[in-house]
Amino acid sequence: MKKYVSILCLFAIMASCAPKKNELKTFDPAFVHTVYFWLNNPDNSEERAAFEASLTTFMEQSKYTNTNFIGTPPISKREVVDGSFTYSLVVTFESAEAQELYQKEAAHLKFIEEVEGLLNKVLVYDSRGKVIK
């Protein structure tokens, strides 16, 4: 019985430490910046690690982003899914002006400098959002 009480207490402590839903970063639809990256050597683990490290550091240091998502292509058999890219980045901003400041910030410029030799192709899609409820 004592063991079960201890386990119950542990779960209660863990639940109280978990972030509340309104404390989590939520997707900001105001301005979405989507970037697809193709590495020169996508099968090279050292180059992938260097790219990931630089991108992660950049996202941690950026002063203007609201939400960040770094992804890789899913395994999909649907013809409409383009899985040719190596990494994707989805970043949101409170405005187009914030996105312009992001383009010029030191962390962004350093990221570009660090990874430009690793890249074969980059595509960027920017979107202004509209909340649909």
**Token pair for residue 35?**
């970037």
Residue at 124 is within a domain: yes
Q: So what's the pLDDT on residue 82?
A: 86
Q: How would DSSP label each residue in 70-122?
A: EE-------TT-----SEEEEEEESSHHHHHHHHHSHHHHHHHHHHGGGEEEE
**Full-model pTM:** 0.75
Q: So what's the pLDDT on residue 3?
A: 46
Per-10-residue mean pLDDT for the chain, 133 residues long? Answer: 41 39 54 95 97 96 91 89 93 90 96 97 89 68
**Other beta carbons within 10 Å of 56:** 13
Residues sharing a CB contact under 8 Å with residue 50, sequence separation 6 or more, in sequence order: 114, 115, 118
Domain that includes residue 32, residue range: 22-128
Find the distance separating the first CA and the last CA of the chain, reported in whole Å: 48
The CATH number linked to 28 is 3.30.70.100
